Structure 1
Amino acid sequence: MPRWRAALYRAAPALGLFAAARLTGMTVMALWAWHTGRSPRALLAMSWDSDWYLAIAAHGYGTTLYWPDGVVQSDLAFFPLYPGLVRLVTVLLPVAGGTAGLLVSWTAAGAAAWGIHLIGEKLYGRDVATTLVLLWGLLPHSIVLSMAYTEPLLTAFAAWSLYALLTRRWLWAGALAALAGAARPNGIAVAAAVGATVAYEAWRLFRGERRTDWRMWAGAAVAPAGWAGYLLWVGVRKGDPLGGYFAVQAGWTSRFDFGAGTLGFVRSVVTRPMDLGFTVSLLLTGAGVVLAALLVVERPPLPLLVYTAVLVVIAVGGSGFFESKPRFLVPAFPLLVPVACALRRARPRAAAVVVAALAGVSFGYGTYLLVLAPMAL
């Protein structure tokens, strides 16, 4: 049996559990959407950021909205890979943009789950890998894995790039990191993982523990190309090559302020009543920080540690749209490694209760986010 087919065969139970989790989540959401007189497909394909991506896929860049409170929302804030793939699907298949977006996202989610399983299997064994994939599919914000959003695409390229790093396939790691960087702003975390791993290998080369390999340097050089290339393109278009993209993000009230905005939001939550979604977002972001600390204790390989750390720092250190921070952490699947390892060590009944509780939270909260919540996902 070819190696890739054997790996897919071993991952089949995990992929089946992941698919069952996401299908159940979508079914619960669809039933409640129908109950409220709304279309499940429209909610999945055309909610919040999905509208921006589909508009870019259909018409290209060039839309800017000006709001009375001074917020300036330009579609240049959205990276090009996902709308480009949506446009390609609409050219190849007789489907509308919303359906094409869902096809891209669902395919990417499946590829991401397989990549996560490969990493988990290599580092911790098949049982932990299966649990890790299932937990990723049961995150409170895992509904975005079923929507026309970019998190599945980023996670897919990230997982396979990290696996390539773990197996020392340097060119593949760099190329996949470049694609991850073209998918989302926080895709730079994958390039950071590649760069840190290559720097560590260079140090070992200096000490004479490894032989030099030109592929390693080529992979490191290619890794940030997607992210840096789009930033430069936006900068040139805005007349400021280095700062143009960050000016666009500032128009969305999104900037990196080293956590000042996060602290201000925490103060607001604890001093006055807030919508359920904001409070839960604070709790989930805090849980992400705790899981990051537990991951450090687990001493994972350097690529996973750097990738996860950069995602957490970007989420916690950035300001604006606090309700979206848990979504920004969805691609940080290594955060679930300590939980997956603990569940495999637990008694089967206890583990089953925990998984069932997570499933209930995931399906219920995902339905709330998409059908009932008044704030952006």
Structure 2
Amino acid sequence: MTQLDVAQRTERIRSSTWWRLLLHTLPVYVLSRACVLAGAAVVAAELRVDANLANENSLPLADPHGATNTGNAVRPMLDVLTSWDGLWYMDVVRNGYPTTVPPDVTYFVDEARAAFFPLFPLLGRTFDRILPGGDSLAVLVMNTLLGLVAIVLIAVIADRVYGERVARRTATLAALFPGSFVLSFAYSEALMLVLAAACLLLLLDAEWTAAGVFAALATATRPNGVALIAACAVAAFLAIRERRDWGSLMAVLLAPIGFITFQIWLGQHTGETGVWFRVQREAWDEGASFGVTALRNTAEAVWQPMTSPTDTITALSFVTTIVLLVIAWRAKMPWILQAYSWSIVVLMLVPATVTARPRFLYTAFPLLIGAAKWFDDRRARDETFWPMTTAACGAGLAALTGLYGVFGAIP
């Protein structure tokens, strides 16, 4: 390849939409990660104060994260970012899946890690082999990179549907939205967002086989990845109705393979068919409330404000979900994106335990595209609401990180 060819290729990259969106996304993404680190730093500072007081009084320090305080802020911050579900994922990274699951399994036994899907820990184990510094740091670096890729892909989808101006607003919202804390935690959402965004983009381009492959990978990453099956089904229905494109069914056939393969493999590995569903039922008391839990928690947050941070977060998430669904509907978003978003919302509200949460709502990222379109349509009338919204999102991002870090609410 000649120097002229290299120069021409470089110029094509620099003039491409995705490159401009990457350059726009990068600084706001760095800012959003700084908000997360600020929240984690608050928790680390609290742990340091508790450690100093315990040392002065010769008392043992009870660390909610189970780590030994060494007078160093890095370890407590890592403990925050690998807390909650991150502990279970890291257990799978280090120990794999259990070969047996005892009857009446509870949240307090290691075998409960069988409830967590495999693709994220598998990728985390790969990164641990490549990067120095330990598995926790490797997984967090991996997620930070995946988060950036996810936001750029989401912005590319917004550009495809509404143009580059809306895409830029979408990238800003996606980076600062409070639920984006998961992009810096040892959670599987970052990987799923990359796979889901790639799948939806390919569906919009009628690349059926590739879309089905990405959907299959997503359904091996998180349970709510099955929302992509609905998106593939709607895309196939539209393609067959409008163009008699029967090849679109390939995406529908491929999409559930990840979920099905994991269930079969886990059943063989543990010697128990359907063990994943049993662990969900016994260890997490998972059942179906069909939205009743979200409504009840929202009502409790209204009638007894400030008594339960978890109820308050549920109420805010529930109301935000309704607002975003209405906005997305009015924005006349493509049916493929609508099908995915509505499926995510249904999967979020159906469970009886953990219900509406910022991180679950965040996986319905096309709703953020609709919100960006709404803001863009009103830019000539009122530009004050946009900076207020982004500032509130950034503050909420830092606050959620700190709240989850001190175990003040269920994420």
Task: Tell me which interval the TM-score lies in, with the shorter structure as reference length.
Answer: 0.7 to 0.9
The aligned residue for residue 207 of structure 1 is none
Match of 2:114 among 62, 73, 76: 76
The aligned residue for residue 312 of structure 1 is 345
41-50 or 79-88, which deviates more: 41-50
Contact persistence 1:22–1:146 (CA under 8 A): no
Superposition pairs of residues 104-253 of structure 1, within 5 angstroms: 104-204=142-242, 210-212=243-245, 214=247, 216-236=248-268, 241=273, 243-251=274-282, 252-253=284-285
TM normalised by structure 1 equals: 0.88
Contact persistence 1:25–1:363 (CA under 8 A): yes
Q: CA deviation at 1:141?
A: 2.6
Counterpart of 1:363, as a letter, is A
Q: Is 1:285 aligned to residue 323 of structure 2?
A: no
Q: 1:355 to 1:260 in 2, by over 3 A?
A: closer
Counterpart of 1:247, as a letter, is R
Distance, in Å, in 1 between the alignment partners of 2:249 and 2:200 is 16
Match of 2:397 among 340, 356, 362: 362
Q: CA deviation at 1:82?
A: 0.4
Gaps of 5+ in 2: 1-8, 49-72
Q: CA deviation at 1:236?
A: 4.7
SS at match of 1:319: coil
Counterpart of 1:35, as a letter, is A
The aligned residue for residue 35 of structure 1 is 45
Contact persistence 1:17–1:134 (CA under 8 A): no
Contact persistence 1:162–1:304 (CA under 8 A): yes
Contact persistence 1:157–1:179 (CA under 8 A): yes
Q: CA deviation at 1:40?
A: 4.9
TM normalised by structure 2 equals: 0.81
Q: Is 1:93 aligned to residue 125 of structure 2?
A: no
Distance, in Å, in 1 between the alignment partners of 2:290 and 2:36 is 36
Q: Is 1:351 aligned to residue 389 of structure 2?
A: no
CA deviations over 1:109-140 (Å, ceiling 9, x no partner): 01101110110111111111111111111112
The aligned residue for residue 60 of structure 1 is 96
Over the matched positions of the two proteins, sequence identity in percent amounts to: 28
Q: Is 1:15 aligned to residue 49 of structure 2?
A: no
Q: 1:4 to 1:358 in 2, by over 3 A?
A: same
Q: 1:167 to 1:71 in 2, by over 3 A?
A: same
Q: CA deviation at 1:211?
A: 5.0
Counterpart of 2:258, as a letter, is G
Aligned length, in residue pairs: 368
Counterpart of 2:30, as a letter, is A
Counterpart of 1:84, as a letter, is L
Q: CA deviation at 1:343?
A: 2.2
Contact persistence 2:93–2:125 (CA under 8 A): yes
Superposition pairs of residues 332-351 of structure 1, within 5 angstroms: 332-344=364-376, 345-346=378-379, 347-351=382-386
Q: 1:119 to 1:45 in 2, by over 3 A?
A: same
Larger radius of gyration: 2
Contact persistence 1:57–1:83 (CA under 8 A): yes
Q: CA deviation at 1:145?
A: 1.3
The aligned residue for residue 54 of structure 2 is none
Counterpart of 2:195, as a letter, is F
Counterpart of 1:311, as a letter, is I
Q: CA deviation at 1:260?
A: 3.4
Gaps of 5+ in 1: 205-209
Distance, in Å, in 2 between the alignment partners of 1:156 and 1:49 is 19
SS at match of 2:167: helix
CA deviations over 1:178-197 (Å, ceiling 9, x no partner): 11111100010112211221
Match of 2:408 among 349, 356, 374: 374
